[in-house]
Amino acid sequence: MQVAHSVTEVNETAWNELSTGRPFQSHRWYAFGERVMSDCKPFYLLAFQEGKLIGRATLWEIHNEPLPAPPGMGRAILGAILRRYPLLVCRSPLSNASGLILPSDSLRGGVLGAICESALSLSKQTRSLALMFDFLSKQESENWQNGFASIQMQDPGTVMQNRWRSMDEYLQDGNKKDRQHYKRTLREAEKLGITVERHSQVQDIDAVLALIHNVDKRYGNAPSPWMRPLLENLGLVNGVWLEAKQNGKLVGCGALLFDNETQLTAALGLADDVPYAYLMLGYASLEEAFVRNVHTLRWGSGAYDVKQNLGFTLEDNNYITLAGTNPLTKLAARFA
């Protein structure tokens, strides 16, 4: 098992061969992740057989993970703990995707065991509060050894496989009610003066962050510490920035991120009491996916009714395997 501390230390061709067909796993995506998450130290655990890269785990030492916690004192105490005892988390950066890639043959168990052993050793070196592998499928989370426990989270992501070449084709493939709803949304949005613009970069980051934080407050989410650098570096992954405006005033926004023929919608921001802005952003993201001919669309968690009406289904990606690294977190993992 070899350890690298930057994706630039790993041969790009070998990295991308292992990542083939896996969204948000490319060499370029991880370079983007390192730039945005510059406050998090990466550890790349690399498994080789006869000189060929056959598996990896991408770990991040995170001192400011936006964990679900009640605002106020509870969140402040948790933040103070993490500043001293970080989390060591295996994930693909900024994408709600796993950072674990294993061979599919008889080598799988041996590679996973070697990765877990190395990761546990790293967690002790970094004095981590816990070691986590998140965004796993149910199958991927089963039958772990070395004291790991599997936990199912409540909020899976959403996904849709693209089989359309245009918005018209997508609408014709649906039912009459959906087509009428789409046309009514466009009419009502036009009456309210709501339009959607596309940009290659964010124009006013402070105004955008205010809308994003507004959504965080509405749903009780801890703000992402990496949102500003993500918005500043959107161009590194040819991202598209969507802005919903009402009579020229910014009332909604979102980022479209691309990797390995997959589109991810992120950084949603909305003003209060502006109907149709969310749906207009959603329709714009669908149009962009059809134009780019991406294979898969991912929209993250939440607003499940709206997303399912548009054709999205729940992802099997809401499992975590957890190993405690001190008496308290070991006990928590044991009873998870």
Provide DSSP, 139-178: TTTSS--TT-EEEE-S---EEEE---SSHHHHHHTS-HHH
Region of 57 (left: φ > 0; alpha: ψ -120 to 50; beta: rest) is beta
Under the banding of pLDDT at 50, 70 and 90, the label for residue 294 is very high
In a shared domain, residues 229 and 140? no
Count, residues in the chain = 336
In a shared domain, residues 218 and 163? yes
Give the pLDDT of residue 220: 85
What residues does 323 pair with on adjacent strands?
131
Q: Does position 333 have pLDDT exceeding 60, yes or no? A: no
Residue reference for tokens 């962009």: 288
Q: Which domain holds residue 230?
A: 158-314
In a shared domain, residues 273 and 194? yes
- 212: its two tokens: 């994003």
For the segment 72-89, what is each residue's pLDDT rounded down to a tens digit? 666 677 778 788 889 999
In a shared domain, residues 114 and 193? no
In a shared domain, residues 171 and 143? no
Which stretches does DSSP call E strand in the chain?
2-4, 41-49, 52-62, 87-90, 100-101, 130-136, 149-152, 158-161, 194-199, 240-246, 249-259, 262-270, 296-298, 313-314, 319-324
In a shared domain, residues 259 and 196? yes
In a shared domain, residues 265 and 165? yes
In a shared domain, residues 147 and 203? no
In a shared domain, residues 162 and 306? yes
For residue 267, give the amino acid letter.
A
Give the pLDDT of residue 105: 84
* High-pLDDT (> 90) share of the chain, %: 85
In a shared domain, residues 198 and 221? yes
In a shared domain, residues 45 and 19? yes
Give the total number of structural domains in the chain.
2
For the segment 100-132, what is each residue's pLDDT rounded down to a tens digit? 999 988 999 999 999 999 999 999 999 999 999
**pTM (2 d.p.):** 0.93
Q: Does position 287 have pLDDT exceeding 70, yes or no? A: yes
Strands 130-136 and 87-90: parallel
